[in-house]
Amino acid sequence: MIEVKKASYRKRKKTRMEDISFTINEPSITGLVGANGAGKTTLLNVIAGHLKPTAGESLWEGESVFQSLAASSATYFSHEDLFFPYDHCIRDIFTDLASFYPNFNRDIAYSYCEYFSLSVDAKYYRLSTGQASVARAIFAFAVRTPLLLLDEPTTGMDEKTRVMFHKCLLKEFVEHPRFVLMSTHYIEETENLLDSILLINKGKRVFHHSLEEINKLGLKVSGKTDDVLSFVEPYNTIATETSADFLYTTSYIEHSLSENALWKIEAKGLKIQPMSVKEVCNLYSMKKKGRVEDVFETSNNE
């Protein structure tokens, strides 16, 4: 079980993460979502025990992870800055990992290399950005630790390779269930893999919901501007987008509509759709002035 309790982290008087709490009770794949600089990598480092929170705590199976050998041996944290001896090839790194992680599966590691067309004799530091990400993914899959932390694992991968990675991740989880926490910007590509999403913004938790719960968070109502604005006025509007000629508008509202309200939408000729997971995440972490129209509005007022 992963528990993060009111965890904060400050460095050089700057708050990187503030008062974050969440619990994951069962093996699952959780997406860690947020804009660049939101605090995703900091949170993963705290969960991995690489950083000690300045307040609160991070627990693995009820034990604090910081400087814990038990938590360290149960966790594999894959990130872009992983260090390996400069002259090591992929085969050498397999040997290194096997010496520390008892569940490391060398056979599956070699099979993954063949699947991704990655030579085991290739020097890690001579790989392209995408190839290095593939290598780190193979390491992460093969160690078979109970807790797997992935920080932007598909950086530099082309679309085809990302699809291959996602298939492998899902197969790995089905065959060997574990706790997986993965930061990603590719929400549309990964939402079918995820059990839940932890959304953070400016170092703070926005929500931690299952995909089913997220699908119920919001609706978007589209149609003629006057009709849309008149209809959504009583509801909590998250954001509004208007066409350049101001004739058509889409409003994003919290999902609290009754059957009667849904009937009124149809009667007015308005279009209603559930917000996508990506739209929910983007809108719930949007700045108060987060539209491109706001840029021009500010410019015109100066």
| SS3 category, 77 | strand
> And the tokens for 38?
């939101």
Contact (CB, 8 A) for 182 and 168: no
Q: Chain centroid to CA 111: how far? A: 27
The residues spanned by each domain of the chain are 2-214, 218-301
| Domain 2-214 matches domain 218-301 at the CATH topology level | no
What local confidence, expressed as pLDDT, does residue 297 receive? 59
pLDDT at res. 141: 98
Q: What is the pLDDT of residues 70-116, one digit of tens each?
A: 899 999 999 999 999 999 999 999 999 999 999 999 999 999 999 99
> Are the C-beta atoms of 222 and 248 separated by less than 8 Å?
yes
The whole-number pLDDT of residue 285 equals: 83
In angstroms, the CA 144 to CA 103 distance is 6
Question: Using N-to-C axis directions, what is the helix angle for 106-115 and 159-175, rounded to 10°?
Answer: 150
Q: Could you tell me the mean pLDDT of each successive run of 10 residues in the chain, 302 residues long? A: 96 91 97 94 96 95 90 94 94 96 96 98 96 98 98 96 97 97 95 96 95 89 91 87 91 77 72 89 73 57 56
Dihedral angle, C-alpha 206, 2, 83, 73, nearest 10 °: 180
Question: Which pLDDT value is given to residue 138?
Answer: 98
pLDDT (0 to 100) of residue 255: 74
| Paired residues of 260 in beta bridges | none
Residue pair 24/176 in contact by the 8 Å Cβ criterion: no
| Long-range pairs, 239-246, Cβ under 8 A, ≥24 | 239/283, 239/286, 239/290, 239/291, 241/291, 242/293
Is residue 189 a contact partner of residue 243, using CB atoms and an 8 Å limit? no
Topology of domain 218-301 in CATH is Alpha-Beta Plaits (3.30.70)
CATH classification of 2-214 is 3.40.50.300, yes or no?
yes
Strand segments (E) across 89-233: 147-151, 179-183, 196-201, 204-210, 218-224
pLDDT (0 to 100) of residue 209: 96
Predicted local distance difference test score (pLDDT) of residue 293: 57
pLDDT of 231: 85
